Structure 1
Amino acid sequence: MAEEGGEGKHQALQTLQELVDGLYCFRDHYFESHSVEAAGRKQQDVLEEMEKTLQQMGGIDGYSQGRAQALMLKGKALNVTPDYNPQAEELLAKAVKLDPELVEAWNQLGEAYWKKGDITAAHTCFSGALGHRKNKVSLQNLSMVLRQLRAESTEQHAQNVMDSVRQAKLAVQMDVRDGRSWYILGNAYLSLFFNTGQNPSISQRALGAYAQAEKVDPTASCNPDLHLNRATLHKYEENYTEALEGFSRAAALDPAWPEPRQRQQQLLDFLERLTSLLENKGKVKVKKLQSMLGSLRPSQLGPCGDGRYQGSSGQKVALEHRLLSALQPGVNTGAVVLGRVVFSLTTDEKVPFTFGLADSKGPCFAVTVYNMVQSWGVLIGDSVAIPEPHLQHHHVQHQGKVSVAWFSLALQEEGYGKSPEIG
């Protein structure tokens, strides 16, 4: 009889597990059976599927009633939605008390605390789960929590971000075929990029991790967060078409989430304002513009014109003064341009700081400045020298709403942030 009872308990738990697995499969693979146009119904559909699953679970006989595994499974079912569920927290807390070795219950309880906004408690749960057994889910979640932990200083926050990257790497190492691990690693690199001086190599690692997430897991392509975060990087690197496409895709996958649509519109507004200012040279009156540009002198090149300029190798480089119209696409090694500021443009995000530069001949070019100190800026009429500028031609097209083209300049540096010479 004991053997039959044990077998019955095992069968009941297995049935409960299959029901919960089916619920999460429905959520995670929703767009394999539904079109993107149905995205607005996803949350309600998942909620209805959860209710149906809970009803089916309630019909399982009492072999497993009160056991930690059964409590965990019911709590996990209630935890399937993005919103905090107090009943899920209660059941999961009971499960870990009954069986402190139940790692999945710790992970689910940590997610419940995360949704509740109790980041410290979530961190305790994921760390505790790893204390019992190394597992990729705890590593993934710990990576996310570390970036949200309240830090006493900027140094502590930077350390948390570095630790977040380490945990995400460990998760990837445990299962290189897990798309969620790659996605979380991409987010960790994204946070590291913005917290450590915007090193371009780190942004490329983030983009590579996102690409790998989509490669190993087709469901990653239906993750609106992935598209929003990747679009943020593309916008920062001035890949504007890719940024707009990413914001648009995120908005389509989660119509109830306002941020992607807002970010898309902000970028469209920025691009339209920028192109208008470039075409009209900042709307500076003709006589004033002629006076500004006619007074440009080689003496205003500063260190870029008297042999004091040091290249990326640290050696002094003699620079040749060229007109903006004489620049070639890419890095113009050994050259320096000089122009007047004819407009400046900022966004709500304050990044990048953009201004228009014109010289005595040719069109107006955009100059974008990143990682600048708050007190730095330029005024209309300032003379600006840019050594070894990197010229890029932008041509942005998006859903028939915008089709614009312009040239922009940047410094040839390993990272972002070195200021041009201002006069």
Structure 2
Amino acid sequence: MSSMKVGVLQDFLMPPASQQVMLDALRLAFDESYADGEIDRPVELVLRAVDGLPRGTSFDVLNAWKELEAEGVLVIFGPWASDNVLAIRPYVEDVGHIPTLSMSGTDRWYGEWCFCINNGSLPEEPYLLSNYLGVRGVESVAVVYDKCVPGEEYTRFFRDACAFDGVKIAIEEPINMLDTDLSPALARLQASGADAIAYLGWGLTATHLNTALDGTGWDPVKVMSSGFMAAPFLPGGLKSIAGWVGVDQYDEDNVVGQDFLDRFEARFGYRPANFFSVLCYDFGVVIARGLSKATPLSPDGVKEGLEKVKMVPAATGGPGGVFSFGPHARRAWLTPHFIVLREPDPTAEVADLTSGPGSILRHRYTARSRSERLGTAGRTQ
């Protein structure tokens, strides 16, 4: 019996150990689906790994997608970065016509062939961050953001989120997303007198923020977007963002995720208790469900199969999350707790994403009444 080809388009080059976590999580999901009789033949993973934006080019990402198309894959997992998905979306929608699932955070990705299980959300993370600041009693925040699709989209929504939660934005400072010396920008942020600092961006610059803060004597509340989850892929790791609370997708209280990790550890001999393993596993589960419902077994059939995916329990995020798609629904998440806030654990020794989270859960979204949001400490509206 022939196998079903599933494309994996990795648009961010990462350490081999991290890539192995992704591949093992996907293999477990597909192998379990085959063993359970959900799909009637095994899955063959076809991988293309390139360095897209911000360090490479979107051209390479599009070419990798076309290579998977030529391989005859039924569905594609990836690319991931917002800049890259927006660059390839016209081809996927108008020409390629293969269902493509991304973990991108931008709402502008969705389309007839473009599905998403968000690894964060450019429009919604700002509301989690402002919610946390409001709960902490912060009155004003200084914003530093990357000059790119994620940074600019984050910032637009962060303005609305802060107004909603009664937090004043004292200053906004754009930076180049490949900058390493952030001292001038941080000096201007400090001069604003804000109680907190928010980093909104892709994550490469985030690992240089503490270097710029060292020696300033400024110790604000520090929050960041899902760029927090880029740190484990980078040389400095989570220790480079010590003291920052950032958007993550791993929650120890999610029993679906812990059960997955038990099975993963039993099979592969290590336990990657972090957002990356559970998220990649969830992609595998959802894709397998779509394959199982495809009639016929073709890209068009898989697209319609994915539209029939309903109420799949999520290993990612907080307890109780589920995934559903539909004919006009391309965003899978059904829960406000698909994103949480975590802080690097100063006692943890984490070399890569093959081990524990290396961070501590700090906050889940907390619904607050209007009086709670706007009646604290005379905040500026």
Fold match by TM threshold 0.5: no
- TM-score of the aligned structures, taking structure 1 as reference length: 0.24
Larger strand proportion of the pair: 2
Larger helix proportion of the pair: 1
Bigger Rg, which one: 1
- TM-score of the aligned structures, taking structure 2 as reference length: 0.26
